[in-house]
Amino acid sequence: MSPHSDLNAFWMPFTANRQFKSAPRLLERAEGMFYWDAEGKEILDSTAGLWCVNAGHCRSEISDAITAQTRKMDFAPTFQMGHSLPFLFANRLIKYTPKGLDHVFFTNSGSESADTALKMALAYHFVRGEPQRTLLIGREKAYHGVGFGGISVGGLPNNRRAFGNLLTVDHLPHTLDQERNRFSQGLPLYGVEKADALGELIHKHGAEHIAAVIVEPVAGSAGVIVPPAGYLQRLRDICTEHGILLIFDEVITGFGRLGTPFAADYFGVTPDIMTTAKGLTNAAVPMGAVFSSDTVHDAFMSGPAEQIEFFHGYTYSGHPLACAAGLAALDIYEKEDLLHRGSLIAPSFAEMIHSLRDLPHVADIRNLGLMAAIELEPKAGEPGARGYEVLLKSLELGLLVRATGDTIALSPPLIIEISHLDRLFQTLREVLRTIS
């Protein structure tokens, strides 16, 4: 596949299309911790694809389950009809979710999960007789996918700029505080008071107008922003006091990323609604899931029984192949204890990544569980150039990292061994020493 015109038809997502197509980087095959490119070069995957292949690539248990399901029943509707798999999968999943988050609404992606959660929150207040609670509160630098709901509450200006006026929203300040917290290992000490900005927004808009607050427990896309100790609990307390729903977007943090099944477990803070995707099926088939509390779910179940309670759903909600993949992924997570394994590897991961702090250009390092970011000083007048150079140089040396702007994010598959960590950080050290 070489003539560049062959690359023209596929309009690539979140990619500088012309730059990519002038020098394409094509992956061909994957297994366990590795990809191989078209030339057969082995590439260590330090990103679990895009934060999603938590059990490592091409797990045969998952592909066998998908194949078997394609032969048995390819598709069945879940609007006013059903099949056993989403019921089975939902029941298996709620054994792992924080206590009380016992109801599962299936989607096809993290973006759909975010939009579903926001609509669920608005409709919850509506059915309870508080239809004026329409304001949604997000946070600066947040990523909640690319649906209109997700970009409205999201806090990345580039993702909103071209799309006009969106939902009624306001935003909390982000919690990145490099003055005080640079090179923190794990939870930063300073900044719990940033949660009090929610009190100010309540004062400004009136609690009776606010439906929900949505946050990533640890912000991923913005470059792994770890919340200050105590911050999420304070948000929880303020939401509870004012009847505002708290939504955790666990699309990245869900399914073992922090060494616990969910970030809610890590922090000991339970939201009212929790969004997931990615690791839900080990990314083998696209799928998302939104978990809701009994209180939220039960509020919908009060009208006449013959009435649809929630006017929402996707053709592919609870798709048989996605459920088959998800059930097989859960089997692996259970058998290999992957939803907890990150806590065993995290101390070595943290030590090794922080050992890079004195290398050239390193401005900050942040980590929690098996997610971390190295923020580099931007090149004068060329923001993003240095991050891109790290991506290219790493690939040349057989390592895939995620570069957004000048931040390098790492989120390896949870099956990672110490020998892979050694290779990962030796390579990164060499890259950081050689780039300009």
Residue ranges that bind ligand PXG, judged by CB under 6 A: 50-51, 109-111, 114, 143-145, 216, 220-221, 249, 251-252, 277, 402, 404
**Which of ligand PLP, ligand PXG, none does residue 124 bind to, with CB < 5 to 8 Å depending on kind?**
none
Helix (H) or strand (E) holding 423: helix 418-434
CB of 219 to ligand PXG, least distance (A): 8
Interface residue with ligand PLP, options 314, 348, 379, 397 (CB under 6 A):
314
Does position 310 interact with ligand PLP (CB under 6 A)? The reply is: no
**Coil, strand or helix at 107:** strand
First to last CA, the chain: 32
Q: What is the DSSP string of 31-100?
A: EBTEEEETT--EEEESSHHHHT-TT-B--HHHHHHHHHHHHH-S----SS---HHHHHHHHHHTTTSPTT
CB of 268 to ligand PXG, least distance (A): 20
Instruction: Using alpha carbons, select from 380, 372, 378 the residue that is nearest to residue 401.
Output: 372
Give, in order, the Cα–Cα distances in Å from 402 to each of 313, 399, 411.
32, 10, 9
Q: How far apart are CA 371 and CA 258, in angstroms?
A: 7
**Which of ligand PLP, ligand PXG, none does residue 252 bind to, with CB < 5 to 8 Å depending on kind?**
ligand PXG
Which range, of 231-239, 278-286, 314-322, 397-405, touches ligand PLP by CB under 6 A? 314-322
CB of 342 to ligand PXG, least distance (A): 17
Tokens 């200006």 locate to 157
Nearer to ligand PXG, 144 or 393 (CB): 144
Q: How far apart are CA 194 and CA 174, in angstroms?
A: 8
> What is the identity of the amino acid at 255?
F
Beta-carbon contacts of residue 275 (< 8 Å; ≥ 6 apart): 110, 113, 114, 116, 117, 144, 247, 248, 249, 250, 251, 288, 289, 290, 291
* Angle, in degrees to the nearest 10, between helices 320-335 and 338-354: 70
Interface residue with ligand PLP, options 89, 124, 291, 316 (CB under 6 A):
316
Are residues 314 and 105 in contact, defined by beta-carbon separation less than 8 angstroms? Answer: no
Does position 315 interact with ligand PLP (CB under 6 A)? The reply is: yes
Nearer to ligand PLP, 82 or 383 (CB): 82
**Which of ligand PLP, ligand PXG, none does residue 54 bind to, with CB < 5 to 8 Å depending on kind?**
none
Instruction: Using alpha carbons, select from 373, 413, 406, 433 the residue that is nearest to residue 44.
Output: 413
Are residues 198 and 208 in contact, defined by beta-carbon separation less than 8 angstroms? Answer: no
CB of 145 to ligand PXG, least distance (A): 3
CB of 128 to ligand PXG, least distance (A): 26
**Which of ligand PLP, ligand PXG, none does residue 221 bind to, with CB < 5 to 8 Å depending on kind?**
ligand PXG
Nearer to ligand PXG, 111 or 175 (CB): 111
**Which of ligand PLP, ligand PXG, none does residue 314 bind to, with CB < 5 to 8 Å depending on kind?**
ligand PLP
Residues in 234-263 at the binding interface with ligand PLP, rule: CB under 6 A: none
Does position 84 interact with ligand PLP (CB under 6 A)? The reply is: no
Q: How far apart are CA 328 and CA 317, in angstroms?
A: 18
Count of residues touching ligand PLP (by CB under 6 A)? 3
**Which of ligand PLP, ligand PXG, none does residue 132 bind to, with CB < 5 to 8 Å depending on kind?**
none
Nearer to ligand PLP, 190 or 314 (CB): 314
Three-state secondary structure of 89-101 = HHHHHCCCCCCCE
Which range, of 195-203, 242-250, 313-321, 364-372, touches ligand PLP by CB under 6 A? 313-321
Q: For ligand PLP, which residue has the nearest CB?
A: 315
Residues that bind ligand PLP (CB under 6 A): 314-316
